[in-house]
Structure 1
Amino acid sequence: MDMLEDLESLQFEHGIEEEDRSWLYLQGRYHGLLMKACAHAAFFCKLLHTLRKSLHEKRASGCLSIGSLASAPDDDDLKVGIIGGGHLGKQLARVLLQLVPVPAEKLRISTRRPEVLDEFQKLGIQCFYGNTYLAGWANVVFLCCLPSQLPSICTDIQTSLEKACIVYSFVAAIPIPRLKSLLNHTNILRPQYQCLEGFANVWGANKEIVVALQDPVVLQATCPYSSAGGIILNIKWLEGVFYAALNICTAKAMRHSQALQLLNELFLSVHFEDCGEDRASCPKFQLRDFVSKVYAENLPHKRTLPWFDLTAVQLGKTPFSQHLLTCPALQRHLTHLYCDSFGIPLTKGQQPEASTGSPSQ
């Protein structure tokens, strides 16, 4: 509870002159961007956690044949690293801890000032200054640093990154091609946002992000296809998320048929009232949704999918691009999956207004 909420004289807006109040929307925009960024990162980690857990369970039960690329059992737990202990890094850590949730022992933070992260160290999170070590340990590395710091950080970590490690960048000023060059790495995700003019502020600027994301109105505004709150996510990010999931299956040497079956089970299993009793109208991922028709026809049954360059996925068109943009049923299922993963299932009539967004790369 915010004890200052009803004390107008102590609010940020109270001391602003009337002629400057037109700029207050920037505060809401900043809070909205931060909230969307943290929510999408949490959703991504939820998907990876669920995928890796399912892989482990299927392997343990003998339902899944894993090839020679399979990792040790200890590696089945998702390990998350954050580079940067500033405001964004700390907010992201709180969201991952409480809303995914990532166990404290599976979350580590590298920052030049680990002594200021006493809050997290008390929770059992390792906080240190060691970018190279962090990159070699984590399955997902979040870059929460300043643009000026990024070149030296990339130099530190590029030789420590495993091929399957996903680098997730919040450094908006560094475009994907430059990031790929700096890291010499292709397993990179970078969400891109576009701000609209004249939007209604739904973000609850005085609320903690973890608390706000448990509000159905706020959470629905963060949905990948939603334009509520005046901030649009480039849907190429969502495309990259699914290709990243397929790369995890490929790293485990799974047959392509098993990988697609697993994606259908995990990511298209949240149904809603419009689906009908037989679920016949519900979308299902097919091989041709992710690779070309010719490649799909010639891929042997026991082969894995190819390794996908996530930077190329986010920069150009793929077979999955059109599917995400033009299939309303798939968009509805993914929206329901998103809200359900945060514990806020949608009811009929609550589908957020769809918007694909297309900010520049």
Structure 2
Amino acid sequence: MGVAVTEDDITHGLVSLQFQTNLNESELSLLHLRKRSFELLLHAASQSTYIVGMLNTITHHIVTGDMLRKGSLSKHRVNIGFVGGGRLSRHIISTLVHHGVCVPHDISVSTFQPEKLDDLAKTGVHVCCNNRLVVEQSDLVFVCVPSNQLVVLKRDVDLAPRHFLISYVSTLSKHQVAEELQHLNLLKTDYMYNKDAAYMHNEPYQSVGMTLEDELVVEKLFPGMECGFVHTSPDWVRDMILVFYRYILRIAPDGALNRLNAVLFGNNHGFYLQEKDFRVTGGSNRIASEPDQLNDIVGVGGKVSNLNAKISRKETLDILYTSFQSFFKPKSIDVSKYQ
């Protein structure tokens, strides 16, 4: 069952109706901002898909003892929440379902105007106007609201350390979002703009989910790879690993590091992370053995000795990229039996 998302440009192919036909020279010079906006959507959707896909893989591995086969789904899946039901949320939800990392019934959305998401609700997405309900019942929460609405989220929800937040509040830094929400277990990607880069060949009238079927596009989106207008800070890989590790510590603390290595690197034992790679500089210099201790790492300003350098090596990035890429290959999945 698909999730409907309005196309970015319904005038594609109809030259006389395309909006740029009537733009003057000054306005035409700003068209690159439209492509930049689309590429930001690609980054957010691809990173979200990877995060959800990996957490589902970890959950399945811990529950069943086996790794998920590529292109398969499991009944052992995380619950996904969205605070905010705008364009960004819709594109991320559509991409998650399009690439088979979850089904609509895994997803809950809190929005001021739930009636505007009737099309999503008909597919099985849970739509409501209750931030607290969505946060409490979700393993992972995507914050997709304007910065001036963070105060509403803070008012509605007393955020506990167990709540994983992924923020796409683009106008604020990670530190500012953490301050607004008074919450350390927060991941926020830093994007950097490359004004001299040529945009990837896809035009922004194509859906995000379909664009991410293109291996050349996916390669440009992974940290450390060549990119277009925007790219992701290399710290994103480190922060992702810390999120995965904290999640494992929360649901299965015994042998957590071994489980993390098995999921990230499989049989490539030479790349396995060691306890010493997670020591917090300026802190206790001990490996975090409980999920709350990782607040010092995932939190604002936390430093992890050795980890960043170890996972920044090309050989390590290549292995992690293979995992990243695997979630975006076109899949033929019958999701009806999981709903």
TM-score (structure 2 length as normaliser): 0.83
CA distance in 2, matches of 1:252, 1:110: 26
Gaps of 5+ in 1: 60-74, 271-278, 345-361
Distance 1:298 1:5 in 2: 57
Q: Describe the shift of the 1:189–1:298 C-alpha distance in structure 2 as closer, same or farther (beyond 3 A).
A: closer
Q: Does 1:233 align with 2:229?
A: no
1:322 aligns with 2:309: yes
Amino acid at match of 2:249: T
* CA–CA distance in structure 2, aligned partners of residues 77 and 293 of structure 1: 34
- The residue that corresponds to 2:49 in the other structure is 42
Structure 2 counterparts to residues 273-292 of structure 1, below 5 A = 282-291=270-279
Q: Is the 8 A contact 1:111 1:129 kept in 2?
A: yes
Q: Which residue of 2 aligns with 1:135?
A: 135
Distance across 2 between alignment mates of 1:179 and 1:5:
37
Q: 1:305/1:294 Cα in 2 relative to 1: closer, same or farther (>3 Å)? A: farther
Report if aligned partners of 1:177, 1:311 keep a CA contact under 8 Å in 2: no
Counterpart residue number, 1:213? 212
Distance verdict in 2 for CA 1:30–1:119, change over 3 Å: same
**1:12 has 2:28 as partner:** no
Q: Which has the larger radius of gyration?
A: 1
CA 1:293–1:166 in 2, change beyond 3 Å: closer, same or farther? closer
Q: Post-superposition shift, 1:101?
A: 2.5
Q: Distance in 2 between matches of 1:138 and 1:132?
A: 10
Separation (CA, whole Å) in 2 of partners of 1:121 and 1:292: 44
CA displacement at 1:154 relative to structure 2: 1.8
What is the 5 A alignment of 1:96-135?
96-135=96-135
Partner residue of 1:192? Answer: 190
> Quick one: distance in 1 between partners of 2:117 and 2:281?
51
1:265 aligns with 2:251: no
1:72-87 aligned at under 5 Å gives the runs: 77-87=77-87
Secondary structure of 1:108's counterpart equals strand
**SS in structure 1 of the partner of residue 228 of structure 2:** helix
CA gap of 1:304–1:171, structure 2 versus 1, over 3 A, is: closer
Letter aligned with residue 113 of structure 1: Q
- Contact 2:146 2:169 survives alignment (8 Å): yes
* Partners of 1:204 and 1:17 in 2: CA distance: 21
Amino acid at match of 1:7: L
| Closer/same/farther in 2, CA of residues 98 and 310 from structure 1, 3 Å limit | farther
Question: Partner letter of residue 321 of structure 1?
Answer: N
Distance 1:316 1:227, change over 3 A: farther
Paired amino acid for 2:95? V
Which moves more between the two structures, 125-134 or 213-222?
213-222
* CA 86–77 in structure 1, closer or farther in 2 if over 3 Å, else same: same
User: Unpaired runs of 5+ in structure 2?
Assistant: 1-6, 67-74, 331-339
Q: Distance in 2 between matches of 1:175 and 1:297?
A: 27
**Residue 35 (structure 2) aligns with:** 28
SS in 2 for 1:229: coil
Give yes or no for contact 2:297–2:304 (8 Å, CA) kept in 1. no
Q: Report deviation, 1:195.
A: 0.8
Letter paired with 2:317: Q
Equivalent residue for 1:177? 175
Structure-2 change in CA distance of 1:174 and 1:214 (3 Å): same
The TM-score with structure 1 as length reference comes to: 0.78
Distance 1:285 1:153, change over 3 A: same
Q: 2:329 aligns with which of 343, 347, 355?
A: 343
In 2, Cα distance between the equivalents of 1:99 and 1:229? 23
Deviations 1:43-101 (A, max 9, x none): 11111111111111139xxxxxxxxxxxxxxx953001111111111111111222242
CA gap 1:3/1:148 in 2 versus in 1, 3 angstroms: closer
**Who is 2:199 aligned against?**
201
Equivalent pairs, count: 313
Given residue 266 of structure 1, which amino acid in structure 2 is its aligned partner?
V
With over 3 angstroms needed to count, the CA separation of the structure-2 counterparts of 1:145 and 1:306, relative to structure 1, is: closer
Give the one of 41, 58, 61 matched to 1:51: 58
Matched with 1:357 is none
Deviates more, 1:35-44 or 1:177-186: 177-186
Alignment match, 1:309: 295
Q: Secondary structure at the residue paired with 1:53? A: helix
In structure 2, the CA distance between the partners of 1:5 and 1:254, relative to structure 1 (3 Å rule), is same
Matches of 2:292 and 2:108, distance apart in 1: 31
Judged with a 3 Å threshold, the aligned counterparts in structure 2 of structure 1 residues 3 and 331 are, in CA distance, closer, same or farther, namely same
Deviates more, 1:291-300 or 1:204-213: 291-300
